[in-house]
Amino acid sequence: MEIAGLVLAAGAGRRYGMPKALVTWRGSLLVERAAGTLREAGVAEPVVVIGARAAQVRAVAPALTYVDNPDWASGMASSLRTGLAALAGGPAGAALVLLVDMPGVTAAAVRAIAAGAAPDALVMGGYGDRRSHPVLLGREHWAGVARSATGDRGARDYLRAHAGQVRVVPVGHLADDTDLDVPEAAGA
């Protein structure tokens, strides 16, 4: 079964001071790093959802496959909806979702999550007592995720409502789920 990669990278990065898709971390752009992590894990060519300063993101990282979210300012949920809609016409039975601002997520963690892929699967990375990315959404859940996603909550409400179906795979030994919300978090 094909697994599609989806990178959510449309935000303006208000707390960071710039769109995180344009941030360089340890020698590479965060947007290229996220897409590369998915590729390295064997996920189909990732789709990157962009919005804030989209033309600039395309210019500095032209080799990626993009989809524009015209409603990016409304929050991450609109990017998730946009990305899932872009994937809907393809053959993938599941989507593996990464956030652009979590560069510590590794290909090994993605592979561990992808191992549970199925059209009816819901899989999250486990970091001790926290659940985080990568997140795998089986195709059968895409419409429900899209309907329930609001603001900056993404799939969170849908996953909570379907908690009995969510499989949490421990990946804390393989990855770091630190979110780069401010330049200090990136070592800037």
pLDDT for residue 80: 97
Segments in 20-137 forming alpha helices (H): 30-40, 54-60, 76-88, 107-114
Asked if residue 48 lies in contact with residue 64, where contact means CB atoms within 8 angstroms, the answer is yes
Per CATH, domain 3-186 is 2.30.30.30: no
Strands 3-8 and 94-99: parallel
The answer to pTM > 0.85 is: yes
Can you give the pLDDT of all 188 residues of the chain as single tens digits? Answer: 999 999 999 998 888 788 999 999 899 999 999 999 999 999 988 999 999 999 999 999 999 999 999 999 999 999 999 999 999 999 999 999 999 999 999 999 999 999 999 999 999 999 999 999 999 999 999 999 999 998 888 899 999 999 999 999 999 999 998 887 656 555 54
Q: Which pLDDT does position 188 carry in this prediction?
A: 47
Composition of the chain by helix, strand, coil, percent to 5: 35, 25, 40
pLDDT score for 3 = 97
Give me the residue spans of the domains in the chain: 3-186
* pLDDT of the residue at 14: 83
What's the pLDDT at 153? 83
Q: How many Å apart are CA 162 and CA 9, to the nearest integer? A: 26
